[in-house]
Amino acid sequence: MVSRITTASGEDHDPVKSLFRRRPAGLARVRLGYAAQVGDRAVAGEKVPGEKVRGRTGGGRGRRRLSVDERRDELIEAALQLFSTRSPEDISIDDVAAKAGASRALVYHYFGGKYELYIAALGSAAKKLSVLLEPPTEGKPLERLRISLKRYFDFVESHAAGYTALLRGGPADRSGEAGEIVDGIRQLLLDRILHSLDVDVPPPVLRITLRCWMATVETAGLDWLENRDVPRPDLERLLVDQLVVIMQVAGRHDPGTGALFDRLAQEEMGSS
């Protein structure tokens, strides 16, 4: 894992952020100053080179310039598409601007730089996933888990770029803000699973078992997006069955996990 470095002057240096900010300081100020001027013109509705207009192209009537939120969302979506296929270090602001059909100055205006855009893109994907992971309130534990897993794969399918960017689009060590976003989603997913299983505080063996299963779910999602040779419902059933099996094995090593497995088995048989 990459750690923060203290320089001779006593200042902290983040090696990950430095990957995104290898431009001369003077040039950066000039670019950002120009970006702010051009961005302000775009928000005010003035003509800006490279700025896209939504609506009819013939004449002025029916033309609508994107709002601030719409333009920001469009830039984030373009960034997610790129970050899901390549490392952020290999993507430039020009790439994002071209993907979104915008000027590079406008990208700088909204986000300040590539690192800020990367964090905003990850945060956007994480927020969408967290909404879908709201736990069901009805049904037996494994039934609630099946519903949650279906919602998870709804996100995988409908937000493929965001899902892929969250899991494989960033620096290998995932330190700093990017790591906090990804770790936060994983902790949220663990909390949702425990809620579905009616468990408040998991014993260590159960916690480890569930985190191992979560890694399996993440890998299955990426594999499904790449190959799509297993029907989604079949994959979701397979993953739930895998969890039941590994919980049964884990129960041999921990009485608390074993008791949970027995309870789940009884409830499943009672509902069949």
Whether residue 260 contacts residue 199, with contact meaning beta carbons closer than 8 Å, is answered with yes
Q: Is the dihedral of CA 35, 41, 44, 49 positive or negative?
A: negative
Mean pLDDT of 105-117: 93
CATH number (domain holding residue 183): 1.10.357.10
Per-residue pLDDT tens over the stretch 201-247 = 999 999 999 999 999 999 999 999 999 999 999 999 999 999 999 99
Whether residues 132 and 107 share a domain: the answer is no
The yes-or-no verdict on residue 113 having pLDDT over 70 is yes
109 contacts: CB under 8 Å, gap ≥ 6: 35, 36, 38, 39, 40, 42
**pLDDT for position 9:** 52
Q: Of 112, 137, 158, which marks where a domain is finished?
A: 112
Residue 1 within any structural domain of the chain: no
Whether residues 53 and 131 share a domain: the answer is no
Per-residue pLDDT tens over the stretch 25-72 = 444 444 444 444 444 444 444 444 444 544 444 444 444 577 888 999
Whether residues 214 and 141 share a domain: the answer is yes
Q: Of 112, 144, 168, which marks where a domain is finished?
A: 112
The yes-or-no verdict on residue 263 having pLDDT over 80 is yes
- Name the residue with higher pLDDT: 35 or 152: 152
Whether residues 139 and 248 share a domain: the answer is yes
Whether residues 147 and 242 share a domain: the answer is yes
Whether residues 77 and 143 share a domain: the answer is no
- Report the first-to-last Cα separation within the chain, whole angstroms: 48
Whether residues 131 and 265 share a domain: the answer is yes
Q: Whole-structure pTM over 0.75, yes or no?
A: no
Whether residues 103 and 32 share a domain: the answer is yes
Whether residues 45 and 155 share a domain: the answer is no
- Own/partner contacts of 239-242, CB < 8 Å, gap of 24 or more, are 239/149, 239/213, 240/142, 240/145, 240/146, 240/149, 242/213, 242/216
Residue 117 within any structural domain of the chain: no
What pairing do the DSSP bridges indicate for beta strands 63-65 and 12-13? unpaired
Residue 175 within any structural domain of the chain: yes
Whether residues 255 and 133 share a domain: the answer is yes
Which of left, alpha, beta for 136 (phi over 0: left; psi -120 to 50: alpha)? Answer: beta
Per-residue pLDDT tens over the stretch 190-204 = 999 999 999 999 999
> What is the tally of structural domains in the chain?
2
Residue 230 within any structural domain of the chain: yes
The yes-or-no verdict on residue 24 having pLDDT over 60 is no
Residue 118 within any structural domain of the chain: no
Two tokens at 211?
């985190």
- Name the residue with higher pLDDT: 35 or 97: 97
Count of CB atoms situated within 10 Å of the CB of 255: 11
Per-residue pLDDT tens over the stretch 159-186 = 999 999 988 755 544 568 889 999 999 9
Range of the domain at 266: 125-271
**pLDDT for position 137:** 84
| Mean pLDDT, all residues of the chain | 81
263 contacts: CB under 8 Å, gap ≥ 6: none
Radius of gyration of the chain (CA): 23
Residue 5 within any structural domain of the chain: no
If we measure between CA atoms, which residue out of 14, 128, 121, 12 comes closest to residue 72?
Answer: 121
Q: Of 67, 91, 112, which marks where a domain is finished?
A: 112
Two tokens at 133?
């992971």
Whether residues 138 and 264 share a domain: the answer is yes
- Residue 12 pLDDT class (50, 70, 90 cuts): low
Residue 66 within any structural domain of the chain: yes
